[in-house]
Amino acid sequence: MIRTALLSAAALLVTGCQTAAPQTKAPKPPAFVEAACGGCHAVEPPFLSPNPESPSFAAIANREGLSKATLAEWLVDAHNYPEQMDFDLTREQAQQIADYMITLRRADYVPEQ
C-alpha cells in the first residue's frame, strides 16, 4: 500500500513537471467568408483550396509586403478581381476578411508547391 502511494505521488510529480505544448487554435473566419470565398479558396486549415488555381488564404496572408491595409483596399477594388471573383464587398466586409487573413501569418510559413 505504501509502495502504491509512493508510485502515485511520483507519477503526480512527474506529470506536474511536464509542460504541455501550447495549443494554438486557428481563429474562425467571419461567417460570410466561407460562402463568399470558400468555393475557390481554402479559408481555414488545412488550407486545401477547392480550386487548385486559387491560392489559400494562408498563402495570400504570408505574401511578402502584404499589409492589412493593402489587402483590405484590394478587396474593395472590384476592378482588381479576376473575372471569376465578380462580386462586391462592402468596406466592412473587406476589413473583416483582411483582419482574419492577417491572423494566418506565420514566421515558419512554407509556401505551397
pLDDT, greater one: 11 or 29: 29
2 torsion bin: left (phi>0), alpha (psi -120 to 50), beta (else): alpha
What tens digit of pLDDT does each residue of 76-101 get?
876 555 665 667 788 999 999 999 99
Catalogue the long-range contacts made by 13-17 (C-beta closer than 8 Å, 24 or more residues apart): none
Q: How confident is the model at residue 2 (pLDDT cuts 50, 70, 90)?
A: low
Which domains, and CATH codes, for the chain? 28-102 (1.10.760)
Q: Are 40 and 51 in contact (CB under 8 A)?
A: yes
- pLDDT, residue 24, reads 56
Q: Which three cell numbers stand for residue 16?
A: 506536474
- pLDDT, residue 85, reads 63
Q: Which residues contact 40 (CB under 8 A, 6 or more apart)?
A: 49, 50, 51, 54, 84, 85
What tens digit of pLDDT does each residue of 25-81 get?
678 899 888 888 888 899 998 888 888 888 999 999 999 999 999 999 888 876 555
